[in-house]
Amino acid sequence: MISREKIKELEAIALKIRRHIILMTCAAASGHPGGSLSAADIVTALYFYKLKHKPQDPTWPDRDRFVMSKGHAAPVLYAALAEAGYFPVSYLKTLRQLGSSLQGHIDMLSLPGIEMSTGSLGQGLSAANGMALACRLDKMSCRVICLLGDGECQEGQVWEAAMTAGHHKLDNLTAIIDRNKYQIDGKVEDIKGIEPLADKFKAFNWQVLFCDGHDMSSIISALENAEKVKGKPAVIIADTIKGKGVKFMEDNPLDYHGKAPTREEETLALECLREKESK
């Protein structure tokens, strides 16, 4: 069982990652802060507790594979990779600048530690299936984890991939849905409802788990339970808040889907995070 000290350590890293997200997007005057902030706790739990990976050897064959299917939330992954040691933290300030490897959507050819170039939504789970099948064929013990957005689950390819994973009983695969309930045009359920989400995955022979996507103990418990599932893939539906950690973004999730904070908003956002750090 994870210790309270480790939970505190992970929560501190998640706050640091949120701070990076604000600073990066503000410096670029561009980017997707809302969906990056909603996934910060999940990505922290993965990179600093659950995933087997070696920053000094990004292509280590026995590493776990992480596919960031919601590739527009690139800032959260860049921040985690930098904090984990894949490249200098100072490089984060080059987000979306000409010549930088930190593109608006992640690119596996320009940065170490990225398993798949994503940003065109709906494709990540298909690629994760291929990785899971390859690991099985090679008799490798590594796991594949794929993070999707809830709006992304409107894409037909997600459900073709879900059917495939269930059919092939890919129990080395875990999907995580960042259920922050908003997409660029509005509430997910208003644009094109995806409920009953859990029942859909169950129909395709998936084990469905749930967690509070902002409670580190809940996230880790769900990840560990997913590893115990045999004979079928597992999906974790994580209840999250778009813009989590920055109150004015939480209150206006549509305004900060793909809009960076202004300099004045940057100051307010960092103050929100400092308040959480002091609690």
Instruction: List, for residues 44-55, the tens digit of each pLDDT value.
Output: 999 999 999 999
Q: Residues 100, 94: contact at Cβ < 8 Å?
A: yes
Q: Is the pLDDT of residue 30 over 90?
A: yes
pLDDT at 277: 78
Closest to 149 (Cα-Cα) out of 114, 107, 119: 119
pLDDT at 174 > cutoff 70: yes
Quote the pLDDT of residue 1.
Answer: 79
Tell me the average pLDDT across 105-109: 96
pLDDT value, residue 71: 96
What is the percentage of the chain residues whose pLDDT exceeds 70? 99
The residue range of the domain holding 264 is: 4-278
Do the Cβ atoms of 276 and 247 come closer than 8 Å?
A: no
Residue 63: both structure tokens together: 């590493």
Is residue 102 a contact partner of residue 132, using CB atoms and an 8 Å limit?
no
Confidence of residue 276 (pLDDT cuts 50, 70, 90): confident
How high is the pLDDT of residue 126? 98
Which CATH number do you get for residue 128? 3.40.50.970
What pLDDT, on a 0 to 100 scale, did the predictor assign at position 278? 67
Residue of 85, 110, 84 lying closest to 95 (CA atoms): 110
0.85 surpassed by pTM: yes
Mean pLDDT of all residues in 178-192: 97
**Structure-token match 């505190």, residue found:** 8
Query: What was the pLDDT predicted at 149?
Result: 98
- Residue of 143, 173, 151 lying closest to 63 (CA atoms): 143
- Domains of the chain: total: 1
With cut-offs at 50, 70 and 90, classify the pLDDT of residue 279: low
Token representation of residue 235:
């999906």
Confidence of residue 234 (pLDDT cuts 50, 70, 90): very high
**Average pLDDT of the segment spanning 240-248:** 97
Helix, strand, coil % (nearest 5) of the chain?
Answer: 50, 10, 40
